[in-house]
């Protein structure tokens, strides 16, 4: 096949097997969103306070025919947490992400966009770089707070801070309600099933717009080099072993070191 056919095939493969990172401050509903996307409670939530545990969690599942690998980050993008507090989970997140995600989901609550939310976004951009926004979509939780008859795009336009953020993310935004929109036959828009399908289409668009490439930076590239080096060592010493098992062992080694 010609180069265009090869390129299209590679993009198609990426679309149907995507690595997605959920980012946002503690308590916005990242873990619940991950469970909503997967359609079952796979990601851990502390039900005493509704918060996720302070550790990254990565899970893979087929959703609407797509292989989706979701990485739920802890609250290390909270503006008040120090770099020293976050360091172990930063290492874990980077290791899970390498060589890079196909998309970021910036998770926000349906509430006023304050300086605090702005600081969280700035911290995300500092950690990954603002180029990550080319691979990002904004997902709002607590959709029951969306005024009746209003679409999320209209809500975003009411706030200069939100509007600027969504524009930097290519105009990509969605809304879910992890509690109340599980089954809404009266209003398709206010249905998680509808919104998740739309979100997956948006992720497809992100992959296509970036020519099938994943987001990466120097930090992720260095981690990937180390992973590949360790993979080669494990393969040489272990003989017959699947590539998936090799990479799993390597990541476990990296997280312990």
Mean pLDDT for the stretch of residues 16-40: 89
User: Are 100 and 199 found together in one domain?
Assistant: yes
pLDDT tens digits, one per residue of 94-120: 777 777 889 999 999 999 998 888 988
User: Are 8 and 67 found together in one domain?
Assistant: yes
In this predicted structure, the answer to whether residue 12 has a pLDDT above a threshold of 60 is no
User: Are 144 and 253 found together in one domain?
Assistant: no
pLDDT at position 14: 44
pLDDT tens digits, one per residue of 182-226: 876 678 899 999 999 999 999 999 989 988 888 887 767 777 777
In this predicted structure, the answer to whether residue 52 has a pLDDT above a threshold of 80 is no
User: Are 252 and 143 found together in one domain?
Assistant: no
pLDDT at position 78: 72
User: Are 188 and 229 found together in one domain?
Assistant: no
pLDDT tens digits, one per residue of 144-173: 999 999 999 999 999 999 999 999 999 999
Query: By C-alpha distance, which of 75, 49, 70 is closest to 58?
Result: 70
pLDDT at position 241: 64
Work out how many domains the chain is built from and give that number: 2
Q: Among 47-51, 154-158, 235-239, which is the least confidently predicted range?
A: 47-51
User: Are 71 and 32 found together in one domain?
Assistant: yes
pTM: 0.81
Q: Which two tokens stand for residue 57?
A: 């969690």
pLDDT at position 86: 66
User: Are 124 and 245 found together in one domain?
Assistant: no
One-letter-per-residue 3-state SS of the chain: CCHHHHHHHHHHHHHCEEEEEEECCCCCCHHHHHHHHHCCCCCCCECCCCECCCCCEEEEEEECCEEEEEEECCCCCCCCCCHHHHHHHHHHHHHHHCCCCCEEEEEEECCCCCHHHHHHHHHHHHHHCHHHHHHEEEEEECHHHCCCCCCHHHHHHCCHHHHHHHHHCCCCEEECCCCCCCCCCCCHHHCHHHHHHHHHHHHHHHHHHCCCCCCCCHHHHHHHHHHHHHHHHHHHHHCCCCHHHHHHHHHHHHHHC
pLDDT at position 64: 83
User: Are 211 and 223 found together in one domain?
Assistant: no
pLDDT at position 225: 78
In the predicted model, what is the mean pLDDT of the chain?
A: 80
Q: Which domain holds residue 63?
A: 3-216
User: Are 164 and 64 found together in one domain?
Assistant: yes
User: Are 87 and 193 found together in one domain?
Assistant: yes
Q: Among 48-62, 112-126, 220-234, which is the least confidently predicted range?
A: 48-62
CATH label of the domain that carries residue 56: 3.40.50.300
The more confidently predicted of residues 223 and 181 is 181
User: Are 157 and 239 found together in one domain?
Assistant: no
pLDDT at position 79: 63
pLDDT at position 16: 56
User: Are 201 and 227 found together in one domain?
Assistant: no
Q: Which of 11-20, 28-37, 85-94, 95-104 has the highest mean pLDDT?
A: 28-37
CB-count exposure of residue 247 (10 Å: 0-12, 13-18, 19+): middle
């Amino acid at each position: 096949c010609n180069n265009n056919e090869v390129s299209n095939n590679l993009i198609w493969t990426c679309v149907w097997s995507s690595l997605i990172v959920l980012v946002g401050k503690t308590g916005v509903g990242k873990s619940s969103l991950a469970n909503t996307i997967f359609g079952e409670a796979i990601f851990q939530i502390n039900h005493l306070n509704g918060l996720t545990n302070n550790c990254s969690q990565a899970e893979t599942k087929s959703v609407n025919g797509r292989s989706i690998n979701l990485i739920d980050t802890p609250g290390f993008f909270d503006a008040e947490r120090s770099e020293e507090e976050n360091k172990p989970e930063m290492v874990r997140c980077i290791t899970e992400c390498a060589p890079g995600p196909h998309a970021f989901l910036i998770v926000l609550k349906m509430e006023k966009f304050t300086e605090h939310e702005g600081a969280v976004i700035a911290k995300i951009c500092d950690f990954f770089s603002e180029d990550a926004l080319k691979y990002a979509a904004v997902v709002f939780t607590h959709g029951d707070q969306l005024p009746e008859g209003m679409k999320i795009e209209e809500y975003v336009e009411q706030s200069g801070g939100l509007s600027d953020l969504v524009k930097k993310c290519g105009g990509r935004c969605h809304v879910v309600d992890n509690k109340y929109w599980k089954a809404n036959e009266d209003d398709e828009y206010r249905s998680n099933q509808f919104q998740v399908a739309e979100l997956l289409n948006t992720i497809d668009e992100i992959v296509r717009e970036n020519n099938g490439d994943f987001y990466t930076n120097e930090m992720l590239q260095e981690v990937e080099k180390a992973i590949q080096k360790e993979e080669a060592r494990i393969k040489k010493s272990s003989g017959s072993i699947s590539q998936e098992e090799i990479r799993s062992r390597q990541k476990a080694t990296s997280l312990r070191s």
